Structure 1
Amino acid sequence: MPSKIAILFSVLIGVCQAAFGAGLTEMAPAAHRGQLYRVTHDGKTSYLFGTIHVGRDGVDPLDPVVTRALLDSKALVIELDIREAAPFQLALARHGRYADGDTVQNHLSPATLRLTVQALAQAGLSLQSVQQYKPWLIANLLIGAEMEVHGYQRSQAVEYALLAAAQKQDKTVRQLESADYQLSLFDTLDERQQEQYLLENLADLADGASLKKSTALIDAWSAADAPGIHAAWQSATSGDSISAGFMNRVLLGKRNPEMASNIERIMQQDQVAFVGVGLLHLVGDDGLPQLLKRRGYQVEQLY
């Protein structure tokens, strides 16, 4: 079970500056992935790269421009160091599980419980195996399981490629957040919201909308398709659903300003840093590039 749970987080991150910028333009390949920005202020530089948290076997997610930017940087900064399992398990126990003696059956209506059992069975899981998990965690687990069935794996996430390159280059790795913080955000949903979040995701899984939304974002990232990326962001944040409101208000609206502040702090420590965060954090008027611009930073989109 822990290996399946790990899939979902997705949800559930200098002086040679002018010469390097020219080199990036000259060596740019025909196709890029994601989005890449250069952020500068007072002689300090950050490269801001939008990632996705899943991948496919045999697909290298880092194009030459991103590889060059990382090579030029002194430190790699990601949302969370996903190599560390212990903090994640502790956070999961604290925020994603009910106390001993309590189960999800005590917190869902009979109708929702029936739909949940059906979805779990389709994913090859039993209710008993997840009965201590809160509804939001079960929803995210089912989304991750579906992605895995269709060939997308958390173990192939862009962050793993970045971490492998950083290790090879002996770079410092910094985190913007912690596992406890990330999971605590989902735990802010009250009981009614958690059940509705589960119901919305069960409906999307049943009619294929969940897979369609996920693959649309992945395809847009794979081609650096700016209109497609924006459309995926709009799909995730628009409407009156609990899921969209939570994405817009908390997963992006709350975290983006905090991430911007952490990036500012890191830029004071490192002459050049490479920051990899989930792609949707870069989109919109309150995405990281726009937030940093409003704080007086020079922000240039390299592609």
Structure 2
Amino acid sequence: MRRTIVFAFTVLVGLFTGSTQADTSSGPATAAQKATQQTGAPQRGTLYRVAYRGNTSYLFGTVHVGKTAFYPLEPQVTQALTAAKKLVIEVDIRNTGAMRQAIMRHGLYPDGQTINQHLSADATAQLRQALRRSGTPFESIVRMKPWMVANLLLVQEMARNGFPTEQGIELHFLAIAEKQKKKVQELETADYQLSLFDSMSDAEQEAYLVENLHELASGEAMKKALALINAWQIADAKALDAALLEMQKGENASDRFLQKVLLDQRNPNMAKQVEALLKTDKNSFVAVGALHLLGDKGVPSLLQQRGYQVQKLY
């Protein structure tokens, strides 16, 4: 799940923005922060340029949480966005009406149903214990589905560690696009992204919840999430590729879900839409979760396999 929050689903930024309060007090400097202090801002994420008959689309891999130290981003990135006529993102999370409808349809049980009715007694007990640790009343989540509660608890934990969704890269790009009066295009919709979570059976949702409750309690969830963020923060391609490989080999519910929907369902459609952009737009800037751009099933590789000129800038 920590990869889901950090790299995979933009909709989760909009889903929980405003539901957490970040502790932004200074802590020990990370390796990435020390590198920044010594050499100036490092490259962040990963950036590709795709060309077709004089048209260009830049593909930038984001994280869906953030902090003030991430900004400003590299000149390569900001210049590419400024030159683009259009910002293309997974989901425009400013559309709060669409967000609310998607939550009602996919994230909540109907009136009269509660989460404990869909969980085993043991899973319910573990959930109540986790909620007590986080200071979240059970009544506030009683109609939420397990996948939604799991993601909420991790978002809260990320914010407590200084990475609120309010400072995510997508919101930063949307603010720039609004200031520059740039058109914004969605690759997906909030309803589609949340429907992917809702496609899990009760048993799958319980497994997804319980394994992530274990990782939150042990600190493993934050350890893995922070490792991924630090890799993104210094454009450590080897570490990002290793995270993708670990996910592909994973046997738990989160990794199986992410592998199935991230690679098998979403990347081919994203590549198809970038392909359409290249045929109609002189310059476009596409910002998606970084995992979408990695590996032989990533969007850049799929475009290259279809004959487009793809250059990894970093």
Q: Are 2:251 and 1:240 aligned? A: yes
Q: Does the Cα contact within 8 Å between 2:14 and 2:99 map onto a contact in 1?
A: no
- Distance, in Å, in 2 between the alignment partners of 1:78 and 1:206 is 33
The aligned runs of 1:143-182 (5 Å cut-off) are 143-182=154-193
- Distance in 1 between the 2:244 and 2:135 partners? 30
Q: Is the 8 A contact 1:8 1:140 kept in 2?
A: no
Among candidates 47, 50, 54, match of residue 61 of structure 2: 50
CA apart distance, 1:161: 1.4
Q: How does 1:114-133 map to 2 (within 5 A)?
A: 114-133=125-144
Assess if the C-alpha contact under 8 Å between 1:33 and 1:223 holds in 2: yes
**Deviation string for 1:17-65 (max 9, x for gaps)?**
xxxxxxxxxxxx8721100000011222100000000011354152111
Q: Pairwise CA RMSD of aligned residues?
A: 1.9
What is the SS of the residue equivalent to 1:112?
helix
**2:308: which partner in 1?**
297
Distance 2:102 2:303 in 1: 30
Q: What letter is aligned with 1:258?
A: N
Aligned with 2:295 (options 284, 287, 300)? 284
TM-score (norm 2): 0.86
SS at 1:224's partner residue?
coil
Alignment correspondent of 1:99: 110
Secondary structure in 1 aligned to 2:88? strand
Superposed displacement of residue 237, structure 1: 3.3
Match in the other structure for 1:16: none
Contact 1:62–1:161, Cα closer than 8 Å, also in 2: no
Match of 2:216 among 192, 202, 205: 205
CA shift, 1:84, in A, is 1.7
1:168 CA displacement: 2.0
Task: Give the residue type in structure 1 aligned to 2:239.
Answer: G
Question: Following the alignment from structure 2 to structure 1, what is the Cα–Cα distance between the partners of residues 93 and 41?
Answer: 31
- Could you tell me the percent identity over the aligned residues? 47
- Is 1:220 aligned to 2:247, yes or no? no
User: What letter matches 1:134 in structure 2?
Assistant: K
Match runs of 1:45-84 below 5 Å: 45-57=56-68, 59-60=70-71, 62-84=73-95
Q: Find out whether 1:256 has 2:267 as its counterpart.
A: yes
Question: What SS does structure 2 have at the residue aligned with 1:45?
Answer: strand
> Partner residue of 1:12?
none
Matched residue type, 1:6:
F
Offset at residue 205 of structure 1 (A)? 0.7
Shift of 1:269: 2.5
> What is the SS of the residue equivalent to 1:36?
strand
Which whole-Å CA distance do the structure 2 matches of 1:154 and 1:270 have between them? Answer: 30
Residues 80 and 179 in structure 1, CA contact (< 8 A), matched pair in contact too:
yes
Hey, what's the Cα distance between the residues in 1 that align with 2:208 and 2:51?
39
**Distance 1:211-1:7 versus aligned 2 partners, 3 A rule:** farther
- Give the corresponding residue for 2:31: none
Alpha-carbon shift at residue 158 of structure 1 (Å): 0.6
Measured in 1, the distance between the counterparts of 2:170 and 2:79 equals 16
Structure 1 residue 136 and structure 2 residue 147: aligned? Answer: yes
Deviation at 1:4, TM superposition (A): 9.5
C-alpha contact 1:77 1:275 (8 A) present in aligned 2: yes
d(CA) in 2 for partners of 1:40 and 1:73? Answer: 13
Counterpart CA distance in 1 for 2:197 and 2:241 is 24
Q: Which residue identity is paired with 1:141?
A: L
Check the 8 A contact 2:13/2:65 in 1, yes or no: no
Instruction: Quote how far apart the aligned CAs of 1:151 are.
Output: 1.0
- Report the TM-score, using the length of structure 1 for normalisation: 0.89
* Rounded Cα–Cα distance in structure 1 between residues aligned with 2:13 and 2:141: 13
> Per-residue displacement from partner, 1:251-285 (whole Å, max 9, x unpaired)?
33210001111111222221110000000101111
| Count of residue correspondences | 283
